[in-house]
């Protein structure tokens, strides 16, 4: 199972692809968290404006933030979301 990077018990995912790929990243981070490989996560995604420039249905920070609230009972990793601006 691979993610973009890990350092000091923090998992990092950089996602600039289709929105559907972010769910795979969340599952990887959750599995790593439950297996005590990480203690927290950082996810870097395009902002809504930057995602529009990259294409259709591109993963974006605001949408992930909304969906993390929806999945709070299934996803337990302390996570910070960073948005890449255009």
Q: Which domain holds residue 75?
A: 5-84
Q: What pTM value is reported for the model? A: 0.92
The total domain count for the chain is: 1
Residue 86 pLDDT grade (very low, low, confident, very high; cuts 50, 70, 90): confident
CATH classification of the domain holding 47: 3.40.91.20
Q: Which residues pair with 18 in a beta bridge?
A: 58
pLDDT digits (tens, 9 = 90+) for 17-49: 999 999 999 999 999 999 999 999 999 999 999
Q: Which residue in this structure is represented by tokens 């990243």?
A: 25
Tell me whether strands 40-46 and 79-84 are parallel, antiparallel or unpaired: parallel
pLDDT cut 90: percent of the chain above it: 93
Q: State the alpha helices, DSSP H only, in the chain.
A: 20-34, 48-54, 61-70
Q: Which residue in this structure is represented by tokens 């599995």?
A: 31
């Amino acid at each position: 199972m691979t993610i973009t990077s890990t350092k000091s018990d923090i998992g990092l995912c950089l996602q600039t692809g289709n929105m559907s790929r972010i769910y795979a990243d969340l599952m990887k981070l959750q599995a790593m968290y439950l297996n005590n490989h990480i203690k927290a996560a950082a996810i870097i995604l395009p902002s809504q404006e930057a995602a529009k420039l990259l294409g259709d249905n591109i993963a974006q920070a605001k949408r992930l933030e909304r969906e993390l609230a929806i999945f709070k009972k299934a996803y337990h990793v302390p996570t910070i979301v960073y948005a890449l601006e255009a």
